[in-house]
Amino acid sequence: MAAEEQFHIGYFGDLRREQAGAILLERVVATGSLVLRKVGGDRAGELSAHRFLGSPHVTPEEILDTAGRRTAAACAGRRIVAAQDTTEINFKGRHLRREGLGPAGDGETPGFFCHAMVAIDADDEALLGVVDARIWTRSPGPVAARRSRDIEDKESFRWLEASMTASDLLSTAAQLIVLGDREFDIYSQFVRIPPGVHLIARAAHNRRLADDERLFDAPSDWRDFGTMDVRVPPARPGDPGRIAHVRVRAGRVCIVKPRHGAKTDPKTVTLTYLEVSEIKPPKGKTAITWRLLTTLPVAGEPDEFAAAQEIVRLYRLRWRIEQVFRAMKSDGLRLEETQVTQAARLFNLAAIALVAAARTIQLVDARDGSRRPASDVADQAVIAAAEAIGPTLEGKTARQKNPHERGSLAWLCWIIARLGGWNCYYKPPGPKTIRAGWNELAAMAAGYAVAMAQQDVRIP
């Protein structure tokens, strides 16, 4: 049998591969960095991190599988929105000798793509974690060839695949709604949505309807349900965003299969179509129009306007996956600035970055004092360590006692903040304190797990 690979990361020596992966992830969260020198802790750690990322046994699938199972556990019994989207990691202006990448979206710069899905609690809007992701490169070659039907189908297939994975993995959720932007306007997806799963997509194509009308014209003779205010997200950093006053219409539409649709797909599909349009946009701003297609019902619901508003609200939870991508890239872990150049290592690092980005957001969210379970964010080992260390961090006065329900996220955050040096008096603890505390707790938990594992080995 081949010798088991050993890694030394942070304060830990002699880690097995799975342990090394878990610790590397926690170190990325704790340090807020993908710079392997920082993540590794010292020279030996840096080398181990490189070796881990380059190990033939380490794959993005394995890293994401672990994350997906944990997310699935957090989703049980809850109403879940699973938002998916594709992001591009582009090394423009950072031309180290990258090996094994394909062209990014501009067709020139080396880069790769990540299609990810995250789970969000539909009711309290909490980010519950990464469900799944696929990482790939486009093959080089003339733009015309890359635009061929084949590739397009392959890339849109990732959306269908993610919906299937969500259906399998999140089968214990109380309700599952998969969500996507205009790229998710895929006829094959509408007719192949897994049973029991709902879908919301932003409409990109002015599709033909069974009555020969066009989709975007359908609402012209529908009544307005009413108006509502929606927050329009900033178009670019620095843009404050705005509140738009919109009117909402919705109805059922029977969409005809596109000409190049798959032979096996049914000829029509009936969905709910929603049109959200801004009434009086401010001067100089284009009126917003959102067109949504969904399997969720509006027509015939006891309160049709409320049902339509709920669909708009659910669609807007898509900001959560955009937030995760930002945290993975320029606004956070800066994946596109990594010194790692080789494709297989980059993909492993991207998988770690994605999961770490979601974890970081969850930790920052948790500062607000949440009644959600600590297991939304932390592994059992971390919770066990928190339970062990928690009482020692409490003082004599009421103010120095952890006021939160044991096992809740707020309870865990209190312990993390204390470990990070928070003195219970000045509040709330900042992200730096949380990071430092998380680093301590993750280290304790890992140390505890390693000690346990080593004990196991000694038992004959």
Q: Taking the complex as a whole, how short is the minimal distance between the CB of residue 215 and Mn ion, in angstroms?
A: 20
Q: Decide whether 181 or 301 has the Cβ nearer to Mn ion.
A: 181
Instruction: Decide: residue 176, CB within 10 A, 0-12 exposed, 13-18 middle, 19+ buried.
Output: buried
Candidates 77-85, 293-301, 308-316, 448-456: pick the segment binding Mn ion (CB under 5 A). Answer: 77-85
Q: Decide whether 115 or 404 has the Cβ nearer to Mn ion.
A: 115
Residue pair 434/416 in contact by the 8 Å Cβ criterion: yes
Contacts for 185-189: CB closer than 8 Å, 24+ residues apart: 185/293, 186/156, 186/159, 186/160, 187/255, 187/257, 187/258, 187/261, 187/265, 187/269, 188/156, 188/160, 188/261, 188/262, 188/265, 189/156, 189/159, 189/160, 189/163
Task: Output the six-digit token pair for 193.
Answer: 């949505």
Candidates 76-84, 182-190, 320-328, 451-459: pick the segment binding Mn ion (CB under 5 A). Answer: 182-190
Q: Taking the complex as a whole, how short is the minimal distance between the CB of residue 230 and Mn ion, in angstroms?
A: 19
- Residue 75, Ramachandran bin (φ over 0: left; ψ between -120 and 50: alpha; else beta): alpha
By CB under 5 A, is residue 304 in contact with Mn ion? no
Q: Taking the complex as a whole, how short is the minimal distance between the CB of residue 120 and Mn ion, in angstroms?
A: 16
H helical segments located in 367-430 = 380-389, 409-419
Candidates 76-84, 150-158, 183-191, 295-303: pick the segment binding Mn ion (CB under 5 A). Answer: 183-191
Q: Decide whether 74 or 82 has the Cβ nearer to Mn ion.
A: 82
Binder of Mn ion out of 181, 301, 322, 387 (CB under 5 A)? 181
Compute the distance between CA of residue 177 and CA of residue 160 in angstroms, rounded to an integer: 13
Q: Taking the complex as a whole, how short is the minimal distance between the CB of residue 96 and Mn ion, in angstroms?
A: 27
Compute the distance between CA of residue 198 and CA of residue 178 in angstroms, rounded to an integer: 6
Q: Taking the complex as a whole, how short is the minimal distance between the CB of residue 417 and Mn ion, in angstroms?
A: 36
Q: Decide whether 5 or 181 has the Cβ nearer to Mn ion.
A: 181
The DSSP annotation for 17-29 comes to: HHHHHHHHHHHHH
Q: Decide whether 85 or 440 has the Cβ nearer to Mn ion.
A: 85
Compute the distance between CA of residue 380 and CA of residue 406 in angstroms, rounded to an integer: 14
Q: Decide whether 65 or 181 has the Cβ nearer to Mn ion.
A: 181
Candidates 127-135, 176-184, 260-268, 419-427: pick the segment binding Mn ion (CB under 5 A). Answer: 176-184
By CB under 5 A, is residue 322 in contact with Mn ion? no
Contacts for 229-233: CB closer than 8 Å, 24+ residues apart: 230/276, 230/312, 230/316, 231/316, 232/288, 233/319
Q: Taking the complex as a whole, how short is the minimal distance between the CB of residue 405 and Mn ion, in angstroms?
A: 38
Antiparallel, parallel or unpaired: β 197-202 and 175-180? parallel
Q: Taking the complex as a whole, how short is the minimal distance between the CB of residue 183 and Mn ion, in angstroms?
A: 5
Binding mask 78-117 for Mn ion (x = CB under 5 A): -------x--------------------------------
Task: Output the six-digit token pair for 411.
Answer: 């309870």
Q: Decide whether 91 or 184 has the Cβ nearer to Mn ion.
A: 184
- Binding residue count for Mn ion, defined by CB under 5 A: 3
Task: Output the six-digit token pair for 252.
Answer: 């059922």
Residue pair 32/332 in contact by the 8 Å Cβ criterion: yes
Q: Taking the complex as a whole, how short is the minimal distance between the CB of residue 85 and Mn ion, in angstroms?
A: 4
Q: Decide whether 182 or 267 has the Cβ nearer to Mn ion.
A: 182
Q: Decide whether 327 or 377 has the Cβ nearer to Mn ion.
A: 327
Residue 51, number of CB atoms within 10 A of its CB: 16
Q: Taking the complex as a whole, how short is the minimal distance between the CB of residue 321 and Mn ion, in angstroms?
A: 9
Q: Taking the complex as a whole, how short is the minimal distance between the CB of residue 335 and Mn ion, in angstroms?
A: 17
Residue pair 268/256 in contact by the 8 Å Cβ criterion: yes
Q: Decide whether 17 or 202 has the Cβ nearer to Mn ion.
A: 202
Q: Taking the complex as a whole, how short is the minimal distance between the CB of residue 181 and Mn ion, in angstroms?
A: 4
The residues, any chain, with a CB within 8 Å of residue 26's CB and separated by 6 or more, are: 438, 439, 442, 443, 446
What does the radius of gyration of the chain's CA atoms come to, in whole angstroms? 24
Beta-bridge mates of residue 114: 87, 135
Q: Decide whether 182 or 214 has the Cβ nearer to Mn ion.
A: 182
Binding site for Mn ion (CB under 5 A): 85, 181, 183
